[in-house]
Structure 1
Amino acid sequence: MSTPRDAVPGQFTLVLHSHLPWLANHGRWPVGEEWLYQSWAASYQPVFAVLRGLADDGFTDVLSLGITPVLAAQLDDPHCTSSMYEWLANWQLRAMELATDRDRERAAAGTAHFRAAGEALADFEQHWRHGASPAIRALQSSGIVELLGGPLAHPFAPLLDARVRQFSLTEGLADAHRRWGHTPTGIWAPECAFSPGMEDEYASAGVSHFMVDGPTLHGDTATGRPVGGSGVVAFGRDLTVSYRVWSPKSGYPGHAAYRDFHTYDHDSGLKLARVTGRSVAGPDKAPYDPDRADAVIDEHVDDFIATVRARLQEESARAGRPAHVVAAFDTELFGHWWHEGPVWLDRVVRRLPAAGVTVGSLATARERGFVGDPVDLPPSSWGSGKDWRVWAGPQVQHFVDLNSEVVDTALTTLDKRRDRATVRDRVNDQILRETLLTVASDWPFMVSKDTAGGYATDRAHKHAHATREIADAAARGREPSARALADGWFAPDNLFADLDARRLPGPGAYPKGGSR
């Protein structure tokens, strides 16, 4: 156990962003629902277990946890919860078969996977069988985390018509309240994307703080900064600390002793190899050894804590006041991409206070006064180049055009039907629901990063087709056909059942495509 060290000035905040696009009923393997179940078993279950353990041991306010509405919808969906249980059981069956292998080393790995699957099944039965919302409410009630919300289906907001953008945000926050009994005041803006004027929309929605990437604040992330005259505070990710864990080129998960993410055993479908070396081919990788990895975890915990201490001291000295340092990551890094991540996370959070580091959420940093002078932010994101190229560059211009066309079709149709919308209309609701799924930021990201780009393109065009087909029937006055189409598309795309198109701002609420 580490000995207490002298306290360093300021506060450290860890932010986790949990997100997957809507995958239910849109493919299973190798792309589709499998992503959800892998992330659920490898990240959401163990990370929540870490947080529950910390709460049980008296820790409070250890991080800010973002959960997007579209992910929350899947984690509560009856089809997904049932299928997840089957997935965990299938994992255990595959492990049991491997445990009977004649090769002693492979059999031992199968036994380890069998035990892990059994523990995951028991955890799922106790904490997740009725969806994620009870588990999330428990974390909120314990005070272990600050919950961050966000827009409904994770759009790249700067490129979105302001009416749809504001609807998506306000409905996303309302969806959080319905699920968790709590309305977040902080958000993780999808892709940390920002366009001037969005701060006023945040203020109107009741948002008090949000995340941007460090370069958006020109690297000066020692305090949160109110944006313009809105009073809404932007907190910037500190890249010096964040990139220590994971960056586009390096980070702890690439260590030779850790379990390799990309290499699967052909017969069992399980991950049995360690990284071994960056240039080592999959078949040549060495077997994974948990004991070898455990010692490395401690090295990386110590390195990270030393990095946080040094950064707080440096930034406090530079700013002439106690500094705030934020490290932010996708939750899926911890466990899914980096098998040892949840253990590392647990040890870091437990050891930071003994190392003299004050830990707290973004909300706590705001309350404690880690806020500087107002600033005007540029158009930005946390993607490549810290601009919009991943979502609006030449290779994804077809998505920009598609999204613009679909949004225009939807708004034109809904505005013409507005005078008759005295009661809820499932045709209007489904037009808007499919539009939101079309403009999800995931689809251009997957094409830009060459990760299942075909699947992403198919998904975007499928939802665009649904929008057009329902809208066309409605525009032609074919109400029975429009209702049948809406019901048909709702079957696979049944997220956000409370979505009500009557709450969409009217055509005069914003200038076309702009902020208020």
Structure 2
Amino acid sequence: MTKLLLVLHAHLPYVRHPEHPVFLEENWFFEGMIETYLPLLMMMDRLTGDHIPWGMTMTLSPPLLSMMEDPLLTERFGARLHLLTELSDREADRTRGGEYAGVAAFYQHRFHTLNRFWKEDLGGQILSGFRRHIQTGQLEAITCCATHGFLPLLSTTPESVKAQIRVGVSTHERILGVKPRGIWLAECGYFTGVDKILSEEGLQFFLMDTHGLLYANPFPQGEVYAPIKTPAGVYAFGRDPESSHLVWSAENGYPGDPLYRDFYRDIGYDLPYDLVAPYLHTDGPRGMTGLKYHRITGKTDQKEVYDPRLAKEKAGDHARDFMRRKEEQSRRLSSLANWSPTVVCPFDAELFGHWWFEGVDFIEGLFREATGSVVMTTPTKLLSGDFWVSDAQPEPSSWGVNGYNEVWINQTNDWIWPYLSEASREMTQAVRLWGKDPAFADVLAQMGRELLLAQSSDWPFLLTTGTAVEYAQYRISEHLFRFKTLRSMLENANVDRSIVEEYRGKSPLFPDLNPWVFA
């Protein structure tokens, strides 16, 4: 029998701009809610209601949790969902009797269902749904670094690494009401010695890319099909490359099937501007609405009309194929030794529903197709029983391109790191100098928030990929500017409370932040 761990990493950068009534990058959060997080919760409800055994693991990163609990963002999300529901009604009327009538009616039903689920089932509070499934034990929620900081490059200032982990743990516990047992190190970034910090924070396990285990010292007998125990006593789980290829690859994996929805063909670009302008997230450029009428079809610009029924059937076929392959893998691995292999399948949550629209149907199909030879479970449940394990020192690694650090430090973004290192050292010095004076507590806490936000791995990632470059540069520069401004107040013993409150109002996450985590 094989234990299969499905782990979804749900994370978005913290984006909140109360100074603007509409802000383009806030749509990242709204799209994630509509296409991934709400559909996943609805899936969990269906499985539970149908008495289908299921167990999965999700990272709910601290920035994402903070946005999900934020009154301003949830209000704006509700308005956005209502507007898109109105658009779906208008499109159903516009396309009636034409070739797009069927797919437009599908979106009309989908948006009305999402709207009811958001308002009536969740009461406008998505976290209530996640808490419910966490309490049953079917969903294991794990934490992440406070702002998804890439720890291998932050390790030059150990205090920042400790702060990223400690604030991640405390935020998880404050918002979800349970202390996390595991952590997703941002970008699966591991460096030697971080396991000691994880152990000190009460964390029992973390996830790594395949080579983090395959290049461990000594070589683990279970390869990636059993966790390894690090020198600090924390367990590391490694990604199964076979599963990743089947699901992750858009060209060779399931998501590239011609019947699936084409991500890029959206009516926000296809229809005349005056028809879609009232429903775009901004009053300027075109953008995605989530209403996409075409399927992938193939490598052609002549896309055929999307058929949701055929696509859902194909997702069921792919779920059955995946489980069949896992059963074959189980037999193959079990024949090598007297053991129960562990197959770990970690993915970005946003792959399912957002990038791969039918991905949530695929996940639901996995649980409905599961058989006795492959048991889908969670890390904590696995670690509470008998399991194969090797003692080893993991390889420093990440799950970025080529497996190490180059995504986050290269010619597009290497300028960031000297500034972050300097600010990290200054933060520790400031806490040690002024941390015992209650009059400066709020200033130091806000300095900590600005530093953590500047440390997000999302900004160097965006610079590397060449997407939202100006916004990434703005965020890094703005947070460091605020940090320096606050530090100058302490140095000059002249605190401007209006500026402190202004900064706090723009970034109200981590309300219980204790600046001593940096010392």
Answer whether TM exceeds 0.5 for this pair: yes
Contact 1:151 1:172 in 2 (8 A): yes
Deviation at 1:248, TM superposition (A): 7.0
One of 154, 159, 165 as aligned partner of 2:161? 165
Give distance in 1, aligned partners of 2:322 and 2:206. 24
TM-score by length of 2: 0.90
**Aligned letter for 1:18?**
A
Q: Verify: 1:500 aligned to 2:492, yes or no.
A: no
Contact 1:171 1:499 in 2 (8 A): yes
Deviation at 1:464, TM superposition (A): 1.3
In structure 2, the CA distance between the partners of 1:448 and 1:28, relative to structure 1 (3 Å rule), is farther
What is the match of residue 24 of structure 1? 16
What is the match of residue 349 of structure 2? 331
One of 208, 213, 235 as aligned partner of 2:209? 213
Q: Which consecutive unaligned segments of at least 5 residues does structure 1 have?
A: 1-8, 507-516
Secondary structure of the residue aligned to 1:419 is coil
Deviation at 1:247, TM superposition (A): 3.1
Q: Verify: 1:53 aligned to 2:74, yes or no.
A: no
One of 480, 490, 501 as aligned partner of 1:474? 490
**Aligned letter for 2:314?**
V
What is the match of residue 499 of structure 2? 485
In structure 2, the CA distance between the partners of 1:80 and 1:129, relative to structure 1 (3 Å rule), is farther
Deviation at 1:401, TM superposition (A): 2.2
In structure 2, the CA distance between the partners of 1:497 and 1:127, relative to structure 1 (3 Å rule), is farther
Give distance in 2, aligned partners of 1:225 and 1:248. 31
What is the match of residue 186 of structure 1? 182
One of 334, 337, 342 as aligned partner of 1:316? 334
Deviation at 1:249, TM superposition (A): 5.2
One of 253, 257, 268 as aligned partner of 2:259? 257
Contact 2:435 2:444 in 1 (8 A): no
Contact 1:15 1:326 in 2 (8 A): yes
What is the match of residue 307 of structure 2? 289
Aligned ranges 1:13-162 → 2 under 5 Å: 13-25=5-17, 31-60=24-53, 62-101=55-94, 104-160=98-154, 161-162=157-158
Secondary structure of the residue aligned to 1:391 is coil
List per-residue Cα deviations over 1:384-434 (Å, max 9, x = no partner).
Answer: 11101111233321122232132233333333212324x772111110000
Contact 2:62 2:144 in 1 (8 A): yes
List per-residue Cα deviations over 1:248-301 (Å, max 9, x = no partner).
Answer: 753211111111112211334421111111x323xx322211122123212211
Contact 1:69 1:153 in 2 (8 A): yes
One of 222, 228, 240 as aligned partner of 2:225? 222
**Aligned letter for 1:288?**
Y
Q: Which consecutive unaligned segments of at least 5 residues does structure 2 have?
A: 216-222, 277-288
Greater CA drift, 109-118 or 327-336: 109-118
Q: Verify: 1:370 aligned to 2:401, yes or no.
A: no
Give distance in 2, aligned partners of 1:496 and 1:167. 12
Greater CA drift, 192-201 or 236-245: 236-245
Deviation at 1:70, TM superposition (A): 1.0
RMSD, aligned α-carbons: 2.0
What is the match of residue 280 of structure 1? 300
Contact 1:98 1:106 in 2 (8 A): no
Contact 2:195 2:234 in 1 (8 A): yes
Contact 1:69 1:172 in 2 (8 A): yes
In structure 2, the CA distance between the partners of 1:313 and 1:451, relative to structure 1 (3 Å rule), is farther
What is the match of residue 511 of structure 1? none
Secondary structure of the residue aligned to 1:183 is coil
Give distance in 1, aligned partners of 2:132 and 2:297. 39
Secondary structure of the residue aligned to 1:488 is helix
Greater CA drift, 126-135 or 110-119: 126-135
Contact 1:209 1:234 in 2 (8 A): yes
What is the match of residue 347 of structure 1? 365
Secondary structure of the residue aligned to 2:175 is helix
What is the match of residue 509 of structure 1? none
Secondary structure of the residue aligned to 1:261 is coil
Give distance in 1, aligned partners of 2:24 and 2:327. 41
**Aligned letter for 1:453?**
V
Count how many residue pairs are aligned between Structure 1 and Structure 2.
489
Deviation at 1:59, TM superposition (A): 4.2
Greater CA drift, 80-89 or 314-323: 314-323
Give distance in 1, aligned partners of 2:309 and 2:144. 39
Secondary structure of the residue aligned to 2:356 is coil
Deviation at 1:319, TM superposition (A): 4.8
Deviation at 1:313, TM superposition (A): 2.3
Contact 1:17 1:188 in 2 (8 A): yes
Give distance in 1, aligned partners of 2:53 and 2:172. 21
Identity within the alignment, %? 26
Deviation at 1:212, TM superposition (A): 0.6
List per-residue Cα deviations over 1:431-479 (Å, max 9, x = no partner).
Answer: 0000000000111111222222222122111111111112122222111
List per-residue Cα deviations over 1:127-175 (Å, max 9, x = no partner).
Answer: 4335333222101112211111122211101222211221221222122
Give distance in 1, aligned partners of 2:22 and 2:314. 33
Secondary structure of the residue aligned to 1:358 is strand
Give distance in 2, aligned partners of 1:478 and 1:368. 58
Deviation at 1:316, TM superposition (A): 2.7
Greater CA drift, 434-443 or 148-157: 148-157
One of 10, 31, 38 as aligned partner of 2:2? 10
Give distance in 2, aligned partners of 1:315 and 1:451. 41
What is the match of residue 283 of structure 2? none
Deviation at 1:505, TM superposition (A): 4.7
Deviation at 1:106, TM superposition (A): 3.0
What is the match of residue 514 of structure 1? none
**Aligned letter for 1:426?**
D
Aligned ranges 1:406-445 → 2 under 5 Å: 406-421=423-438, 425-445=441-461
In structure 2, the CA distance between the partners of 1:96 and 1:437, relative to structure 1 (3 Å rule), is same
Give distance in 1, aligned partners of 2:68 and 2:385. 34
Q: Verify: 1:389 aligned to 2:406, yes or no.
A: yes
Deviation at 1:60, TM superposition (A): 4.8
Deviation at 1:30, TM superposition (A): 8.1
Give distance in 1, aligned partners of 2:413 and 2:464. 7
Secondary structure of the residue aligned to 2:363 is helix
Give distance in 2, aligned partners of 1:130 and 1:111. 25
Give distance in 1, aligned partners of 2:308 and 2:54. 30
Give distance in 2, aligned partners of 1:237 and 1:456. 29
Secondary structure of the residue aligned to 2:414 is helix
TM-score by length of 1: 0.90
Deviation at 1:28, TM superposition (A): 8.5
